């Protein structure tokens, strides 16, 4: 497949690039600073673009079978500042997808993007108020935009929990449609970035979970 990958210089994005190349795909890595991506491969093309400018994205999306995004921003302490990174970027990406006539889009979000009174106390009353609230809220707004305003986009939102840089066990990635994996044991509330990459490539190749939000975790 011919893939465009956004956020390719980030810790998750580089894993998606490596996994895609290992599977024999042709990869266009769309980055802001090409010096940060040191990966070399005959099937890898590194290009620069502004993710908030749809016109700069269009040439790099044209002719692609799918666009995968690992874009993200850091948490805001005490959730003081409103975050619009995810909605601002996805609106630009969708505009570029439409102009490039690409309909398949796979992006990263997170567990707990929506409020649920049944979620653990530490999530609703510690992590969200102090650290992750604005980021998770804006990820949820991004998913709402895709659902409500993008009927022509065949998206999958991939929702991992706490991310790690550990090695994959090679076991199948756990997945479940919704906010979290309800049957996961405590030790499963993590996901290594390579497993995120594996799942994103799996759903792209198999054309699965269209217009769905899928919670995942390492197996």
Average of per-residue pLDDT across 23-40: 95
Mean per-residue pLDDT of the chain: 89
Average of per-residue pLDDT across 193-206: 97
Q: Which of 180, 93, 104 is nearest to 145 (CA)?
A: 93
∠ at Cα 91 (13, 179), nearest 5°?
A: 60
pLDDT tens-digit map of 82-136? 789 999 999 999 999 999 999 999 999 998 776 566 666 455 544 555 455 678 8
Decide: 3 and 60 in contact? Cβ < 8 Å. Answer: no
Q: Please state, in angstroms and as integers, the Cα–Cα distance from residue 32 to each residue in 27, 56, 135, 180, 216, following that order.
A: 16, 11, 21, 32, 28
CA distance 219 to 217: 6
Return the half-sphere exposure (C-beta side, CA atoms, 13 A cut-off) of residue 196.
Answer: 31
Asked if pLDDT for residue 38 goes beyond 80, the answer is yes
Please give the domain boundaries of the chain with CATH numbers for all domains: 2-217 (3.40.50.720)
Query: What's this model's pTM, rounded to 2 decimal places?
Result: 0.90
Decide: 96 and 69 in contact? Cβ < 8 Å. Answer: no
- Burial, 10: exposed, middle or buried (Cβ in 10 Å; 0-12, 13-18, 19+)? middle
Residue % of the chain over a pLDDT of 90: 71
| Cβ-Cβ contacts under 8 Å for 84 (sequence gap 6 or more) | 138
CA distance 127 to 162: 12
Q: Which of 82, 114, 77, 107 is nearest to 92 (CA)?
A: 107
- Confidence band for 168, pLDDT divided at 50, 70 and 90: confident
């Amino acid at each position: 497949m011919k893939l465009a990958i956004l956020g390719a210089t980030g810790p998750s994005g580089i894993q998606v690039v490596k996994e895609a190349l290992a599977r024999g795909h042709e990869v266009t890595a769309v980055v802001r600073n090409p010096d940060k991506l040191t990966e070399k491969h005959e099937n890898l093309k590194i290009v620069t673009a502004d993710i908030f400018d749809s016109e700069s994205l269009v040439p790099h999306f044209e002719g692609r079978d799918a666009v995968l995004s690992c874009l993200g921003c850091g948490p805001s302490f005490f959730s003081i500042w409103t975050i619009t990174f995810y909605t601002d970027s996805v609106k630009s990406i969708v505009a570029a997808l439409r102009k490039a006539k690409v309909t398949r889009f796979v992006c990263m979000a997170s567990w707990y993007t929506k409020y649920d009174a049944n979620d653990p106390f530490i999530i609703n009353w510690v992590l969200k108020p102090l650290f992750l609230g604005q980021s998770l809220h804006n990820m949820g707004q991004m998913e709402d935009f895709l659902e409500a305003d993008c009927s022509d986009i065949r998206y999958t939102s991939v929702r991992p929990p706490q991310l790690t840089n550990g090695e994959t066990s090679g076991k199948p990635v756990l997945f479940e449609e919704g906010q979290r994996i309800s049957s996961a044991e405590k030790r499963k509330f993590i996901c290594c970035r390579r497993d995120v990459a594996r799942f994103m490539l799996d759903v792209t190749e198999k054309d699965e979970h269209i217009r769905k939000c899928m919670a995942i975790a390492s197996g």
